Structure 1
Amino acid sequence: MGLHDEVGRRLKALRRARGLSLSELARRSGVGKGTLSELEGGLRNPTLETLYALTTALDSPLSAVLGDPPPGVREGTGGVSGSAVTAVLLERYEDVDAATDVFRVTIAGGATQDSAAHVPRTTESLMVLSGTAVVGLPDAPQTVSPGGHAHWRADAPHRYAAPHGDVHGILFVRYPKADTL
């Protein structure tokens, strides 16, 4: 079973657990009903932007549809890509207050990716391993060099850019639990 099959199966189960029809999830997420149906059926590879739109509409972290990272995960395996960012889930940590997803990310050199807002009170932190990233809120971008880090609200539209070549880093996405909102 490939990544898109597993994501489709998990997405469908999560939608059903929330009591939503395909049409309602499509409306809430802004993802076309046909696209959603193909994703759930494992017939289409999801983009990072599409998965975030769907999981945000389902009040769930991205890892809810990606599942647990495989043992010994390596860069370039099991990742999901957006217009500029490729993310590989490394870890999911959950406590009583929040779930935190840890990703190994690559931001493609010369590219920019605008991400939609996630669920309320979600935050993101990026530690840059190599390259120089420009990340965070569009009206308050943060430039981060190797060894540095940035932290921003992810419940508002935010951006990832690598103006001078590929950026490699570790991204932490912290989602509050619904009952702690």
Structure 2
Amino acid sequence: MDHELNEVLDAVGPRLRALRRHRGITLADLATTTGVSESTLSRLESGQRRATLELLLPLARTYNVPLDDLVGAPRTGDPRIHLTPIRRFGMTFVPLSRRPGGVQAFKMIIPAQPEPRAPALKTHDGFEWLYVLNGRLRLVLGERDLTLPAGEAAEFDTSVPHWLGSADGGVVELLILFDPQGMRTHIHADPHRPPPPAGGTAHS
């Protein structure tokens, strides 16, 4: 196991150097962006300095790549996205993007609802963008009550009270884009904790 770990760590430096050169970034520019000294970055790329999470996180943010891509074997020629569904508040979110920060894309699945559910409108900071793939989506936005069939899209400010559900009780599948505030609310919120006094939680 130690031998395998050493092999992984030994490959980090050359991978970082290749990535930086491919992006056309100098060590000086990288030091300014990440806050890591130029000498430390140079030693990291040459293998004289072992990679640590403290060093790799700012590099992953600067290069806008997942941390796994800096330490794992590159997935050359493999276009597949390895999806791990996230279940929150009775709904399923399938991540479709892997880059850290910024807007994130998910496939959202609202399960069948045999009994009609009364909308419980929520608010939170941010924006949401959605596109209905299958089924009929009910979108309550402020005083508006809308039905979106497959093929329709919507975008809205989530500071406006809103709720998503099934318009006819059937399964609804949609593509949805969350900005960082929305993703924290929907994907990272703990459904067992009470909502904060200001701002909302995920859709019920």
| Superposition TM-score, scaled by structure 1 size | 0.46
Higher relative helix content: 2
| Superposition TM-score, scaled by structure 2 size | 0.41
Largest Rg, 1 or 2 = 2
